[in-house]
Chain A
Amino acid sequence: MSDNPAPRDAGNWARPVDKLDLSGVQAGGMRLNVAGRHLTGPIRGFGQMWQKTYWVRLSGAPATPQEVITVWKAEFPSFWPKGNRFYGPLTGIRPGEVAVLNLAGPGGVTAPGETPVIATGIMVIYADDVSFSFMTPEGHILAGLITFSAFAEDGATVAQVQALIRTMDPLYELSFRLGVGHRTEDDFWQATLRNLAARFNVAGQAQMRSALVDPRLQWSEAKNVWHNAAIRTAFVLPGEILKRLLGRS
Chain B
Amino acid sequence: MSDSETADLETFRAETRAWLEANCPPEMRKPATSDADVFWGGRNAKFSSEPQRIWFERMRDKGWTVPDWPKEYGGGGLSAAEHKVLRAEMGRIGARPPLSSFGIWMLGPALLKYGNEAQKKEHLPNIAAGLIRWCQGYSEPNAGSDLASLQTRAESDGDDFVITGSKIWTSYANYADWIFCLVRTDPAAKKHDGISFILFDMTSKGVTTKPILLISGYSPFCETFFDGVRVPKSHVVGTVNRGWDVAKYLLQHERAMISGMGERGVGRPLGQIAADSVGTDAQGKLDDSMLRGKIASFDVDEAALAACAERAVDLAKAGQAHPAFSSAMKYYGTELNKRRYEILMSAGGVDALEWESERSKQGARPRAWLRTKANSIEGGTTEVMLGIVAKRILDLPGA
Whether chains A and B associate is no
A-binding residues in B (CB < 8 A): none
* Partner-B contacts on A (CB < 8 A): none
